[in-house]
Amino acid sequence: MSESHYLLGGELVEVVIRPNEARKDRPAQRFPLPRIKPYAPINVAIRYQDGTVHVRPRRGLRRADA
């Protein structure tokens, strides 16, 4: 099984597009309230067994081999 297969609620899904790891366009930090987080939102595009593709948070996905 490849590393792009995960379980979502007991159903096998495939991660099609992974999130970016760190933002490249982050401006210089300003005092006192930095409002931009160093990482982009953790959303992934997943493909279900029936072929539909949805974008959802990575929360709730479990590795299929674990």
pLDDT tens-place string over residues 8-34: 988 999 988 776 655 566 666 666 665
Query: What letters, b where the CB count within 10 A reaches 16 and e where it falls short, cover 12-22?
Result: ebebeeeeeee
Structure tokens at 29: 């930090």
Structure tokens at 60: 């709730």
Q: How far apart are CA 33 and CA 64, in angstroms?
A: 40
With a pLDDT cut of 70, the percent of the chain lying above it is: 59
Prediction pTM value: 0.61
Q: Which of 43, 41, 47 is nearest to 6 (CA)?
A: 47
Average pLDDT score over residue span 27-43: 65
